[in-house]
Structure 1
Amino acid sequence: MEYISTRGGIGAIGFIDAVLMGLADDGGLIVPRHIPQLSQDMLAKWQKLSYADLALEIFSLYIDGEIPHAELRKLIQTSYSTFRHPEVTPVRRIRDDLQILELFHGPTFAFKDVALQFLGNLYSYISRQNHSIIHILGATSGDTGASAIEGVRGKDGIRICILHPHGKVSKVQELQMTTVGDPNVLNLSVDGNFDDCQRIIKELFADVAFKQEYHLRAINSINFARILAQTVYYFYAYFRVAEQGVQAASVVNFSVPTGNFGDIFAGYLAKKMGLPVGKLILATNENNILERFVNEGVYEPSEFHMTYSPSMDIQVASNFERYLYYLCGENAGTVSGLMNAFKQEGKITIPADLLTQVQQIFAAYGVENDECLAAIGEVYSKYDYLMDPHTACGVAAAEKLANKAEVTVALSTAHPAKFGEALELIPIEFTHPPEIAALFEKPQHQTRVSGSNNAVKAELLRFF
């Protein structure tokens, strides 16, 4: 398996080099040269596998022997042994036509654990094998930071720095990051929003000399390993729905709350591999650049809004370029031209024929704040099931757009207790899990910085 850039500026590289490169050195995103195609026989063989064994089968297609099979199995089993539920990502039936894929049973109660427990262990494996130093640099809108830190805290040969927007994550999200006292962890609280944090990260990675000198590695979903790990739970959810004998299980729709396009791109990758996915419903909030792209063919940031679903308070989706690559027929020159135009003009517009292709696969809906809270209250009242605000956006979008004659699986991306500020507005009484409740008694460790490359770089130089 070879990996290339969406902009065509790097030669083909292997899986481990792709993981270490993170953002491609030409500024593009790394994708596999070809996507493995699965037969119905293969899907049938996979249906009864445990989550870890299913991950091993899917990862093996993309890693292609670079990590010995026994070592890869050990990495996967170690990564998912930290989850509180034996199924790792169980599926909960709400109605015949609506089911919820619970992705929050990892150590930080968020879906990012599914990928970052594996990626943290993978980085540790690579560091040991190569006798190398790894400096991880990432930005978070709330959940990625805690999951990434949890994946590598205290590990030899690895330091991690996470940027988060000051005052724009939930209190629990902030505490999960900043109460970690391990010396290999640095939290930077950045004046600005998540897009500012993400811009700084991408620009520092684009400085190839700085990136190579300080061994910078990516933990954000610009790293293809993140996407690969998230692809697994689409297969797992499909198999759980299919084994229920639901009539419409031959095709399953997925409603995905997303701001950075990574989670839904993993579903798109699963569909391209051959999983019988119907519609991919893109659920967002009032920061609705992705909804406007799906509905109108225009990708253009607008005014930033703070919402009850802060992990989706994103205007510029870093994984959008990966989808654009496939939409443009895997033409790296076209993608490079579009991204350069976006950098200059702040806008991408696609022609009508490409918009038709987008809408054959995706539907999209932006959920406003009041709708989000209403969805939490309604599902809790009708079905005695408590959702966090991001999951609520996914369910609200499914209710708005899904074909009720088919099964739709809504992705539940975080435990509701992580967003108590929103639940208190409904109001709904809830209890923090003991692991979260304990955070409020711990001291915090963070450094506030201005939203500039130089300010962040200065802190990195002191840390490294």
Structure 2
Amino acid sequence: MHYVSTRGIAAQDTFSTILLGGLAEDGGLYLPEHYPQISDAELNQWRTFSYAELACAVLAKFAPDIPLADLRALTQKTYTAATYCNTSGDASKITPLQELEPGLYLQALSNGPTLAFKDMAMQLLGNLFEYTLDKQHAELNIFGATSGDTGSAAEYAMRGKRGIRVFMLSPHKKMSAFQTAQMFSLTDENIFNIAVEGVFDDCQDLVKAVSNDLAFKNRQKIGTVNSINWARVVAQVVYYFRGYLSATTNNSQQVSFTVPSGNFGNVCAGHIARMMGLPIAKLVVATNENDVLDEFFKTGKYQVRKSEQTYHTSSPSMDISKASNFERFVFDLIGRDSARLLALFSKVEKTGGFDLSGAPGSDGDEFKRIAEFGFSSGKSVHTDRLATIRSVREKYGITVDTHTADGIKVALEQRDNNVAMIVLETALPAKFNETIREALGVDAPRPAGFENIESLPQHFVVMVADAAQMKAYIAGKTGL
């Protein structure tokens, strides 16, 4: 198994060689030169696996260069009841399905240490990084950006890890109070929080700008944990298999998934699972007021928004107008033509977007192929999510967070009564208590250990969105 860049580097790298780096040297994103396929016999066998065994089986398809015994040890170390099932203590309950009503399920992905789905991949990534660095006798400076949940998941996964420092950017004063406290209250010496004056897209642009300075990247040993990191996307593929296997009894059945989406990493993992042969009927992208992806999947027109046009919403982890993983899907959509992809995304940088609708003067007509990949989309706004939080509480007796509410609202609109619909839960409601209180008039339930997190001292620096200043800050902390 070798990997190619969406922008043209030929197949050359293995899973281990791209694990630490993030972006390819040409600025593209890594994908396997072909998607490994699963057989009916394998899928039947996987029905009996624990989550750790399933993760090992899926990752082995993409990382044959890692000895299977080592991969098994890493997944067994990662996916434990102690880490993911703090309420039940039962490892069989990792990512459990809850049937809301016949044919409609919620897949719980937020029982990890930071109460968000990002823990499902990030905890494994921390162990993979430590394993690889130990073998290479090397160090790594992780440089990432977060709109709320990636940052805390990364920091909790990497805190105290040998040879690893974390430099995490977040948009200043644009996360929930809980999200902010969860990151900024950490005191570990290898964790550096940087609040950027701007929106998440400004943070993400800084990560790409620094990563594209290859001399600086190599000298400072820069890696990334954002969903541009291929290993993180692969780790997310696992729970699509788990969701499917939990909702079906045989391989002739299909399911659909609705995925709240901002940076397109979560739903991109679903796309990969589908390309591997998992019987997924539809992948429904649920957006908030920042509806660039919804617009594309409805019209074929991709038009990113400027920072000042990106809304600050009550589902802030989706306040993104330039989804970095979208490039991976477009690469497949246009037949893996890297020269054409480079031209399209160069146009994004120059004019803000491209048009694949096939209309006169457009950049192509690939929008007609969207149905082949099973994608559709929908949108939810603040009043929708308040209404959904209330109705879910009234009908099903549970409280969901704002992003999951967006997913449920869109899922109900696009549901096919003949196909099971699984909505991916993204976080526990305690992380967005301000909106829960607005919707329900009471506070969200708060897990033990997080009762007074907002009152803890916070440690962070505020910086402008300037790549040169950012590189100077990193160099000053590493001494390299």
TM-score by length of 2: 0.94
Whether 2:430 is the aligned partner of 1:427: answer no
Residues in 2 aligned to 1:249 and 1:184: alpha-carbon distance in whole angstroms: 49
Instruction: Give the match for residue 14 of structure 2.
Output: 14
Whether 2:80 is the aligned partner of 1:74: answer no
Once structures 1 and 2 are overlaid, which stretch shifts more, 41-50 or 217-226? 41-50
Q: Which amino acid is 2:289 matched to?
A: E
Whether 2:101 is the aligned partner of 1:129: answer no
Q: Does the 8 Å CA contact 1:135/1:160 hold for their aligned counterparts?
A: yes
Once structures 1 and 2 are overlaid, which stretch shifts more, 206-215 or 402-411? 402-411
Alignment of 1:49-448 (within 5 A): 49-64=49-64, 66-81=65-80, 82-84=83-85, 86=91, 87-243=93-249, 250-302=253-305, 303-352=309-358, 353-360=365-372, 361-429=374-442, 430-448=444-462
Q: Which amino acid is 1:453 matched to?
A: A
Residues in 1 aligned to 2:169 and 2:15: alpha-carbon distance in whole angstroms: 26
Once structures 1 and 2 are overlaid, which stretch shifts more, 386-395 or 248-257? 248-257
Paired residues, what number?
460
Q: Does the 8 Å CA contact 1:295/1:359 hold for their aligned counterparts?
A: no
Cα deviation, 1:83-132, whole Å, max 9, x if unaligned, reads 12522211111011210011001110000001100001111111111000
Instruction: Give the match for residue 462 of structure 1.
Output: 476
Q: CA deviation at 1:404?
A: 2.5
Cα deviation, 1:276-324, whole Å, max 9, x if unaligned, reads 0001000010000000000010110232111110000000000010001
Residues in 2 aligned to 1:365 and 1:212: alpha-carbon distance in whole angstroms: 41
Instruction: Give the match for residue 41 of structure 2.
Output: 41
Cα deviation, 1:397-427, whole Å, max 9, x if unaligned, reads 0011121332100000101111101101112
Aligned residues with identical type, % of pairs = 39
Instruction: Give the match for residue 362 of structure 2.
Output: none
Q: CA deviation at 1:342?
A: 1.3
Q: Where does structure 1 differ by over 6 angstroms across 4 or more consecutive aligned residues?
A: none
Q: Which amino acid is 1:398 matched to?
A: A
Q: How big is the alpha-carbon RMSD for the aligned residues of Structure 1 and Structure 2?
A: 1.4
Q: Which amino acid is 1:357 matched to?
A: R
Q: Does the 8 Å CA contact 1:10/1:24 hold for their aligned counterparts?
A: no
Q: Does the 8 Å CA contact 1:288/1:366 hold for their aligned counterparts?
A: yes
Q: Does the 8 Å CA contact 1:241/1:249 hold for their aligned counterparts?
A: no
Residues in 2 aligned to 1:44 and 1:10: alpha-carbon distance in whole angstroms: 35
Cα deviation, 1:308-362, whole Å, max 9, x if unaligned, reads 1000000000001000110011111111111111111111111444112114411
Q: Does the 8 Å CA contact 2:142/2:164 hold for their aligned counterparts?
A: yes
Q: Does the 8 Å CA contact 2:11/2:33 hold for their aligned counterparts?
A: no
Q: Does the 8 Å CA contact 1:249/1:407 hold for their aligned counterparts?
A: no
Residues in 2 aligned to 1:78 and 1:37: alpha-carbon distance in whole angstroms: 26
Once structures 1 and 2 are overlaid, which stretch shifts more, 28-37 or 452-461? 452-461
Once structures 1 and 2 are overlaid, which stretch shifts more, 69-78 or 265-274? 69-78
Residues in 2 aligned to 1:167 and 1:441: alpha-carbon distance in whole angstroms: 16
Q: Which amino acid is 1:59 matched to?
A: L
Instruction: Give the match for residue 361 of structure 2.
Output: none
Residues in 2 aligned to 1:371 and 1:106: alpha-carbon distance in whole angstroms: 27
Please list every run of 5 or more consecutive structure 1 residues that lacks an aligned counterpart in the other structure: none
Q: Does the 8 Å CA contact 1:251/1:276 hold for their aligned counterparts?
A: yes
Cα deviation, 1:351-388, whole Å, max 9, x if unaligned, reads 44411211441111111110011111101111101100
Residues in 1 aligned to 2:9 and 2:252: alpha-carbon distance in whole angstroms: 41
Residues in 2 aligned to 1:190 and 1:354: alpha-carbon distance in whole angstroms: 37
Q: CA deviation at 1:4?
A: 1.0
Cα distance 1:359–1:307, how it changes in 2: closer, same or farther (>3 A)? farther
Residues in 1 aligned to 2:32 and 2:433: alpha-carbon distance in whole angstroms: 40
Residues in 1 aligned to 2:48 and 2:389: alpha-carbon distance in whole angstroms: 33
Q: Which amino acid is 2:329 matched to?
A: Y
Cα deviation, 1:229-286, whole Å, max 9, x if unaligned, reads 000000000111014x8xx981100000010011001001000101000010000100
Q: Does the 8 Å CA contact 2:313/2:319 hold for their aligned counterparts?
A: yes
Q: Could you say what secondary structure the match of 1:404 adopts?
A: coil
Q: CA deviation at 1:443?
A: 1.4
Q: Does the 8 Å CA contact 2:301/2:357 hold for their aligned counterparts?
A: no
Q: Does the 8 Å CA contact 1:254/1:280 hold for their aligned counterparts?
A: yes
Q: Does the 8 Å CA contact 2:177/2:454 hold for their aligned counterparts?
A: no
Instruction: Give the match for residue 450 of structure 1.
Output: 464
Q: Could you say what secondary structure the match of 2:107 adopts?
A: strand
Residues in 1 aligned to 2:418 and 2:473: alpha-carbon distance in whole angstroms: 54
Residues in 1 aligned to 2:328 and 2:449: alpha-carbon distance in whole angstroms: 36
Please list every run of 5 or more consecutive structure 2 residues that lacks an aligned counterpart in the other structure: 359-364
